[in-house]
A and B are shown apart, each in its own frame.
Chain A
Amino acid sequence: MYDVVIIGAGVVGSCIARELSRYELSICLLDKEWDVASGTSKGNSAIVHAGYDAKPGTLQARLNVKGNELMEQWCTELDVPFKRVGSLLLAFNDDDMGELYKLMEQGRTNGVPELRIIYKDELHTMEHHISGDAIAALYAPTAGVVCPYELTIAAAENAVINGADIRLGQTVQSIMRDSDSFEVVTTEHTIRARYVIDAAGVYADDIASMIGDNSFKITPRKGEYCILDKAKGYLAKHVIFQPPTAMGKGVLVTPTVDGNILVGPNAHDVNDKEDMATTAEGLQEIMDTARKSVPAVSERDVITSFAGLRAVSGDDFVIKPSDVDSRFIIVGGICSPGLTSAPAIALMVTEFLHQAGLIIDAKADYNPIRKGIPRFREMNEDERRRLIAMDPAFGRVICRCETVTEGEIIEAVNRPIPAVTLDAIKRRARAGMGRCQSGFCTPRVMEIISKQKGIPVDGITKKGGRSIVLTGVVQKGDAYDDRT
């Protein structure tokens, strides 16, 4: 029996797991996918918002500003790259100017510090490649960029280091409850827990309805993105927004923590909660719209594209103990600014659990520090020498585009949450994230996983389940004998 089971190992579920792992609690973090950060947490804008967008008084407004404040400490403790690059909301005409002033006021009401409007000269000094049509911008220095899957992985790893269990690749099928506990039935196990946290992203409403709570509905809102080559990293220094629309914050152009440029998203409501397919029209739409902000954004520089689903439920987050059972905490409708808010949501949920009767005693040996995988590519010569002296595998480059070494991949395979799929390696060590999109390193990464874990090469998947990469051996000749 667990004290708490968390359904959904996205950024919200993982941050909650990490926060709860401070206390003397037994925790289980569950996900239907084969890695953490496999849903919305891997397909979003990767922005730490300043907090001026949300209506004052909403959960979004409060948690955004609080989450933005917490982000620095969380990322420092968890060794996650976070860059407070600041954001610029562009205005192209008088109507936009009105919007800028409105949002600046709203931001000040929400408690966002240092907001100011900058005009053409200063704006174009700050960003050399934005459109000449931009006349002014709302500058929010506290906005930043973070890697959303790295934050998720780091938080989940830190939870595991501090004693949480993690169970991946199992879908929750039903939830029973009685007076002292819940029984969460998955495709693999039945898990008993005294408290349940529903952090299931686009499925949060389906999970809640398993205990008869139909108080909210999630609409998946698809957003498509393109990633540009690092060679174009100079195109934007800040997060560059356009005036928001009814469907969201609009198409942005932003640097990523890794030095690429991210373009997107559009916003289209979809019916299918698994529909993460990009569309030709959608990709065209975001590139065309992005060029309004940064005209030099070009299809020629796209190295990959992806789509993510925002979990939208009305105009605000739905974070509350269920009316059906207060030991069941709903964390639903976590669309933007969900990533920014995640650390603050974790604190809020902990408080709800406390109020619902969960006794939370601080754990004496809680370790808030999680050390990430060394990043050879970001090191100076001395650091590189020291790393290789420690382990020569850090001297062997496997992914040439991103300069990822064998040592980093071996470490990713052997982390507290082991990475045994190509996508899991990619999100931890960046092998395959570069301009060749894993063309050269795939065979070598598979060889390392196989060797480290004793899995046959043709048993390795892209992302778990039936996503097998190779369909078998060619023929049982010499090569086969060598391998076995």
Chain B
Amino acid sequence: MIEHDVVVIGGGPAGLAAAVAARQAGAEDVCIIERDKRLGGILQQCIHNGFGLHIFEEELTGPEYAQRFIDMARQWGVHSMLDTMVLDITPDRMITVVNNRDGLQTIKAGAVVLAMGCRERSRGALNIPGTRPAGIFTAGTAQRFVNMEGFMPGNQIVVLGSGDIGLIMARRLTLEGADVKMVCEIMPYSSGLKRNIVQCLDDFGIPLRMNHTVTEIHGKERIEGVIIAAVDQNRKPIAGSEEYVPCDTLLLSVGLIPENELSRSAGIQLNPITGGPVVDESMQTSIPGIFACGNVVHVNDLVDNVSTESAIAGKAAAMYDLGMFDESKAGIKVKAGPGVRYIVPNAINLTRVDDAVTLYFRVDNVYEGAVLRVSTDKSILFNIKKKIMVPGEMQHIKLKKSFLGKQGDISDIVVEVAGEAN
């Protein structure tokens, strides 16, 4: 049997940051298990720039951002097993892996960090009716084909969903000479970042059709067209608004789902809203010694946030392995109040907080001029006036340890939106 102090599952941005932080915090033997042939995860196919503004204060491409962390991991002597699939994790941190060099192996880990990332929602999950031809891709798969494999997924393209990858791919395929006809978004607002709508659609004259969805797929062998329709307030297609759009490709950018099959089989408690593990301020899951970070917990907009959050998980995992992790229960519950879809972390143990704890959350609608209210079971802590909040952009609030310490014996922290949705 192989033993490692800290085993990190997934070598994307979350796993890399966690592994580096674990080493920095004193864990000696840290190993990343990655199913791809190289580290870096999905960043390797994100060749556009805009990464690293917060952490490195410069604009990097995805591979550049990943390389910074890969270099750090190397400097810190982080081990990695590439092209290796994790088949199972037990609650006592026995990990079964398989690859084509060493076959099946069992690894015993002092602590585990889950950093498996997320997957894209597929056509099937949307249940879009129609035929089942070639030419329907999730935006990320198309991105891999274009940026890593060097192939075009098609020439006349309709994008369904205005998630960031869809917006990025609308631009990317336009630059490669494809005719991107439109991006349809079923919601009245985009789930992507504002800057991507401007830089990827507006700058290239690609129409964004809000409150529209694809209601039917046509074509027997290769997709030949789609029917799009306007939707009402309940997101149901409005009869008579149908429009046939010829195309040879449909890209889907309709949401990301944290990949938690391993977490589930280990018996880790999952949050039904995010689909990711319930975690505390140290990113510890419901099973002691198993931590989680990045998109496996909740889908982030910015990789910088992933790196920051993952460093917390990595450090805590190292402490756990070293026997220096305070295992007392997290005393404060963190709750999403009205207007807040979900919040991470879900609990706080103040004794484990160094200086401050950051709460990450998303609102459930577009709010202009609303107030974010943070309160405890005892009192309102503070209100923050926000010019605009949209579901597509993650919010965060930093709470100082010293400030929380002054609140006495609190059991709940609630974040809510006080104000009307637009």
Contacts and interface: CB of A to CB of B under 8 A. Distances in A.
Interface of A: 226-227, 231, 274, 276-280, 282-283, 299, 302-306, 381, 384-385, 388-389, 392-397, 400-401, 403, 406, 422, 435-440, 442-443, 457-458, 461-463, 465-475, 477, 479-480, 483
B176 interface: yes
Interface stretch (B137-145, B298-306, B321-329): B137-145
Contact of B98 (A226, A306, A397): A397
Given A461-B134, A463-B221, A474-B152, 5 more contacts: A226-B127, A384-B104, A437-B124, A443-B149, A477-B150
Ordered nearest first, which 10 A-B pairs have the shortest CB separation?
A304-B124, A479-B150, A462-B134, A437-B122, A397-B85, A467-B221, A395-B100, A396-B100, A392-B100, A388-B103
B151 A302 contact: no
B406 interface: no
B98 A457 contact: no
Contacts of A389: 103
B86 to A, nearest CB: 9
B153 interface: yes
Interface centre among A437, A463, A470 (most CB of B within 10 A): A470
Contact of A302 (B104, B127, B133, B141): B127
Nearest to B264: A231
29 contacts: A276-B131, A276-B132, A277-B129, A277-B131, A280-B129, A282-B129, A283-B127, A283-B129, A306-B132, A381-B96, A384-B103, A385-B104, A392-B100, A392-B103, A397-B98, A422-B134, A435-B119, A435-B125, A437-B125, A439-B141, A443-B149, A457-B151, A461-B134, A462-B221, A470-B151, A471-B152, A474-B146, A474-B176, A477-B150
A393 to B, nearest CB: 6
A465 B222 CA distance: 9
Contacts of A462: 133-134, 221
Contacts of B103: 384-385, 388-389, 392, 395
Nearest to A401: B261
Contacts of B100: 388, 392-396, 406
B120 interface: yes
A475 B125 contact: no
A397 B35 contact: yes
A392 to B, nearest CB: 4
Contacts of A396: 83, 85, 98-100
B222 A467 contact: yes
A447 to B, nearest CB: 8
A218 B216 CA distance: 27
Interface string B339-367: 00000000000000000000000000000
A185 B372 CA distance: 74
A454 B192 CA distance: 40
Contacts of A278: 129-130
Given A280-B129, A392-B103, A472 B151 contact: yes
Contacts of B146: 474
Contacts of B132: 276, 306
Nearest to B102: A395
Contacts of B124: 227, 302-305, 437
B130 A277 contact: yes
A477 B146 CA distance: 12
Interface in B86-131: 87, 96, 98-104, 119-120, 122-125, 127, 129-131
B195 interface: no
Contacts of A443: 141, 144-145, 148-149
B152 A470 contact: yes
Contacts of B135: 469
A303 B125 contact: yes
A387 to B, nearest CB: 9
B154 interface: yes
B2 to A, nearest CB: 16
Interface centre among A385, A435, A458 (most CB of B within 10 A): A435
Contact of A439 (B122, B237, B261, B264): B122
A384 B97 CA distance: 12
Contacts of A385: 103-104
B220 interface: yes
Given A462-B134, A474-B150, A474-B152, A280 B215 contact: yes
A395 B122 contact: no
Contacts of B237: 280
Nearest to A396: B100
B127 A475 contact: no
Contact of A392 (B101, B120, B140, B217): B101
A275 to B, nearest CB: 9
Contacts of B138: 439
B122 A473 contact: no
A441 to B, nearest CB: 10
Contacts of A468: 134, 222
A463 B134 CA distance: 8
Contacts of B104: 381, 384-385, 388, 395
B119 A395 contact: no
Interface centre among B101, B145, B149, B150 (most CB of A within 10 A): B150
A471 B103 CA distance: 37
Contacts of B152: 470-474
A370 B264 CA distance: 36
A392 B84 CA distance: 12
B67 interface: no
Nearest to B215: A280
Interface in B131-177: 131-135, 138, 140-141, 144-146, 148-155, 176
A392 B123 CA distance: 33
Contacts of B101: 392, 395
B248 interface: yes
Contacts of A471: 152-155, 248-249
Contacts of A279: 129, 216
A422 B153 CA distance: 15
Nearest to A281: B129
B48 to A, nearest CB: 15
Contacts of A442: 141
A436 B120 contact: yes
Contact of A465 (B87, B96, B221): B221
B258 to A, nearest CB: 12
A359 B345 CA distance: 76
A349 to B, nearest CB: 30
Contacts of B129: 277-280, 282-283, 305
Nearest to B156: A471
Nearest to B122: A437
Contacts of B148: 443, 479
Contacts of A397: 35, 85, 98
A277 B145 CA distance: 27
Contact of B119 (A381, A440, A463, A470): A440
Nearest to A465: B221
Contacts of A384: 98, 103-104
Nearest to B83: A396
A46 to B, nearest CB: 17
Contact of B120 (A306, A439, A474, A479): A439
